[in-house]
Amino acid sequence: MSRLPVLVYGDERLKQVARPVGEITDEIRRLAADMAETMYDAPGRGLAAPQVGVGLRLFVMDCHWKDGAERDPVVVIDPEIVWESEERATGEEGCLSIPGLPMDVRRPAEIRLLWRTLDGETVERHLTGPEARCAQHEYDHLDGVLITDRVPHLRLAALEPQLKELAAHGGTV
């Protein structure tokens, strides 16, 4: 396993829609393992393939390890949100591609997510709380959507200098 470079805000690859994974190969398994290592090393709770420059619909997440729980990464391949609650919740979200600039984002409080595992098994799970928020955040990355696309314009305007600085430096973290 190895740590992968994470693309930073301003990189146009972060705005592209990812394509389906399709067949689960050893290369995909290696990518998922490297992404999990990168997520833990960052340290983050989730990481999407587009954030490491790979345009595939795949993400990893582990919502509780930073709270002292055992590491338990979930690999999500070709996900689909099949239901979302009408109830909305606002919460602070950080993004490994926008380091140091957490933002309050309003999202459905609950979702039902359908995906494939590395074994090719289809899973559907009802997610709430941190899991629902993290899964939606990473799912957004697969569609080329960043948290900056989900915050009110006034808040975004206040962050403009920091965002411009990130974009100007470009590269990876």
Residues designated as active site: 138
Query: How far is 7 from 134, CA to CA, in rounded Å?
Result: 18
Sign, CA dihedral 11-14-16-20, equals positive
- Any idea of the CA torsion for 43, 49, 50, 51, to the nearest 10 degrees? 10
The amino acid at residue 125 is R
Closest by alpha carbon to 14, among 96, 120, 125? 96
**Beta strands, E only, 19-121:** 46-48, 58-61, 74-84, 88-95, 98-108, 110-116
Closest by alpha carbon to 117, among 35, 58, 51? 58
**Residue partners of 29: CB distance under 8 A and separation at least 6:** 118
